[in-house]
Amino acid sequence: MSSPPFPVLPAGFRFGAATAAYQIEGAHDEDERGPSIWDTFSRTPGRTLGGATGDTACDHYHRYREDVALLRELGVDSYRFSIAWPRLLPQGTGPVNHKGLDFYDRLIDELLAAGVSPAVTLYHWDLPQALEDRGGWRTRDTAEAFAEYAALAAERYGDRVDRWITLNEPYCSAFVGYAEGRHAPGAEEGRGALAAAHHLLVAHGLAARELRAAGAREVGITLNLDRIHAASDRPEDRAALRRAETLHNDIWTDPLLAGRYPRYEAETWAGLADGPWRLPGDLDLIGGPLDFLGVNFYRPTTVSAAPHRVADPGQRTAVDIGVAELDPYGTRHTTMGWPVVPSALSELLRDLHVRYPQSPPIWITENGSAEADTVAPDGRVHDPDRIGYLADHLTAVADAVAAGVDVRGYYVWSLLDNFEWARGYDQRFGLVHIDYDTLTRTPKDSYHWYRGLISAHCARTEETAR
């Protein structure tokens, strides 16, 4: 089967690959690293598929040089990785773990020697367990501790890191972790989840201030924004769409990009909407300047109305916003069960451009597909569906750029197969196959396709410059 043609992106467009600390590092109890909420959650029976943990994962902590060599051979401009907060500050605050600081020194220096620019995510869900024991993201203290952590990281690595991402997908941290209970810390709360959402935004604002004070060149945040459609034009389905947009998108984009709280929050959360966790000046802090907005995208959703339980401010249980998700797309699905609709990414980017015309440049900080990958008898991993997914979504990005959206770059998710959170090791997103018994790395056909895309882009850029 022949590979699809390479999408054409403008000169200066950058390509990268992404990972996250808990998903690949392993070494969970080495060199004085403290436990995170994901260590605790994954060890709780029934929380992850097959009881999987990130104890070893891809063993990147010991094999980072091998992984950087894969990045160098891939030809990427940048590598997006996250720092494990409990590796630097085992208790979340207080005494610093110098062995943890040294590890990321080694990784960053190895990347620079390979000609790959480091892009650091400060928080990719691995909150130190000690902070969760004191209330976690439900409390403002955790946001203030995050600022301390950001200042430490900026002081140590700021001379070598160009691009900083404060938070990855705060929606998942707040709502999947504190409302739905499917991710760490496994809570099912209403007020707790909304307080967590706000404190995550406050944490972003505080961290951005610390990063800028340390001279950071680019500061942004990554959101997993959804392209959501209503099942019909019925008023009740349009109202469900408003509530879904509020939960998934507006709770983040309105404070960050427009200096306001979401218009339909009272309709969505009733008595829980305007909680005591909001303080004067928070919107100014949260809405400080961004150098870029990171967008993670995998698939669209369609919603219809469902019974909407009005929230009681005194209740602790999670809030039902009265939405049912449908799947009318009739397309191929990845092994995650997600429909493949590349045009939805272009729609999302154009909609952001229209709704927030003064928004900063966009980076696609995650995009990729989980597929049923195996090593074939010829020793290779043939993954044509992933290649098609990447080609079609990069074409969607090119379409958005042609429509006037300022998209600067694209990070494929992921460099490596890895621990896929509650789904354990059942899902494979990597350009590189990991044998979890031997930890052998095998570049897939998609790795070679992506390398060819980058090479062709560089050659085209050089030709244009002549």
**CA–CA gap between residue 133 and residue 113 (Å, rounded):** 40
Burial class (CB in 10 A: 0-12, 13-18, 19+), 309: middle
**Minimal CA–CA distance to 447: which of 98, 75, 35?**
75
Q: How many residues does the chain have?
A: 466
Q: What is the largest CA-CA distance in the chain?
A: 67
Nearest to 19 by CA among 79, 105, 74, 86: 79
Residue 167 half-sphere exposure toward CB, CA atoms < 13 A: 30
Six token digits for residue 365 = 């900080």
CA–chain centroid gap for 370, Å, is: 15
Whether the CA torsion 123, 256, 188, 141 is positive or negative: it is: positive
Contact between 112 and 118 under an 8 Å Cβ cutoff? The reply is yes
How far apart are the C-alpha atoms of 371 and 374, rounded to whole Å?
A: 9
Query: What type of residue is 122?
Result: L
- CA-CA-CA-CA torsion for 33, 177, 256, 403, nearest 10 degrees? 100
DSSP state of 48: S
Active site residue 169: yes
Residue in the structure block whose two tokens are 């006037």: 404
**86: three-class secondary structure by DSSP:** helix
Contact in structure between 168 and 183 (CB atoms under 8 Å): no
DSSP string, 229-262: EESSSSHHHHHHHHHHHIIIIIHHHIIIIISS--
Of 132, 210, 218, 366, the catalytic one is 366
Beta strands at 292-296 and 362-366: parallel, antiparallel or unpaired: parallel
CA distances from 420 to 9, 186, 285, 406 (A): 30, 16, 33, 30
Show the tokens assigned to 231: 């099942």
User: What span, in angstroms and rounded, lies between the C-alpha atoms of 272 and 383?
Assistant: 46
The one catalytic residue in 25, 132, 169, 420 is 169
Strand partners, 326: 302
Sorted by sequence, the CB contacts under 8 Å of residue 102 that are 6+ apart come out as: none
Instruction: Give the residue numbers marked as catalytic.
Output: 169, 366
